[in-house]
Chains A and B, each alone.
Chain A
């Protein structure tokens, strides 16, 4: 047994030495130059056909402390505004949960109406942003019915506690007619929608952390210590769906999952955890619509 182990170790050593020797041999015979390169990666989606993007809103659930629908819509709009070439349509968030609920029983016309107040809150969209009534105001049926605009419905979102609760609403994303009508209303933009689950989470177990210790001579050392720890945090599970506003069909969808855990004694506001987790996802989200560059180093040979 010991003999075999020694032989294996010797073989491994020989392999390492031979690969190092091979590299040295090649390097010795040829002149080589390390060079930094940036590889451009094309966006996952070809969005060249669109000039405008509408972040329509999300079906959100999980904790009541964060309105996943509103916060995600705001965040994505601001990111797209600064980091993509598409013009962001600034309008109220569509009440997708209501639409999905109405979709089950209500007639077709009702479900197709977003509850928006105005389509030109940045002042740019008024002329070309959306169709307007003859008096220049929104012709939304919700408004015509005299209902107050509902940008988000946190009370209803509370009903969705886990991913399974989202299933009854998923059919809305496949409703081609609905999205086509939204597309027509906003002049055929690329539509971004989906689901957001932001749930509290806790876990206990052995964790390794670093601890400062001082020896008898007063010298400081940092040693790894394994301790049992109660931790709590959040899990963020967004699903981003990209819909072609011209046809109402889903072009692309992507699921993400990120989690963060803190010491149980530490009190971190839910909203700050939400932004911490979204920060990790944003580059992937943006790479769907715009190109990115991957930095690396290669070796040029003579």
Chain B
């Protein structure tokens, strides 16, 4: 009996790796399509593709990076921050994601400062 369970578990484990690879491959197709449309200025479509990619493979840091850029371009800075931070959590040593995030932070900090100044002005 235990041997049978072990065999099943081993079989499941062995099949999980190709499944993950399939998910990444499907997600990558979405990412590639997203990049192609973003380069033509179709950012909404790109967002849809990259969101799909992240749904398919939630550990795809590059897809999260691209999604963050698209959110930034749309002015949704809070969503962009979350996506960048998730991407960096998955790949903390990815220099290109870090670089994008640093550039984003400069803008985000500026607007956050504005907000806090405003609230100070309104509640002196």
Contact = CB atoms under 8 A, between A and B. Distances in A.
Q: Which one of A35, A252, A294, A301 has the highest number of Cβ atoms from chain B below 10 Å of its Cβ?
A: A301
A48 interface: no
A271 interface: no
Contacts of B17: none
A63 B42 CA distance: 53
A300 B73 contact: no
Contact of B96 (A19, A32, A42, A250): A32
Interface stretch (A21-29, A190-198, A226-234): A21-29
A41 B75 contact: yes
B97 A301 contact: yes
A38 B73 contact: yes
A264 interface: no
Nearest to A250: B121
Given A22-B93, A27-B96, A42-B75, A33 B35 contact: yes
A300 B122 CA distance: 40
B96 A44 contact: no
B69 A252 contact: no
A254 to B, nearest CB: 8
Nearest to A22: B95
A40 B95 contact: no
A302 B28 contact: yes
B100 A23 contact: no
Contact-size category for B: 20 to 34
B88 interface: no
Interface string A1-42: 000000000000000000100110011001011010111111
Given A38-B73, A39-B72, A250-B121, A301 B62 contact: yes
Nearest to B66: A300
A223 interface: no
B76 to A, nearest CB: 10
Contacts of B96: 23, 26-27, 30, 32, 299, 301
Interface string A167-180: 00000000000000
A31 B50 CA distance: 16
Contacts of B31: 301-302
A122 to B, nearest CB: 31
Given A40-B75, A41-B110, A301-B97, 8 more contacts: A22-B93, A26-B96, A30-B96, A35-B69, A39-B72, A253-B121, A294-B107, A299-B99
6 contacts: A26-B94, A26-B96, A33-B39, A39-B77, A252-B121, A298-B104
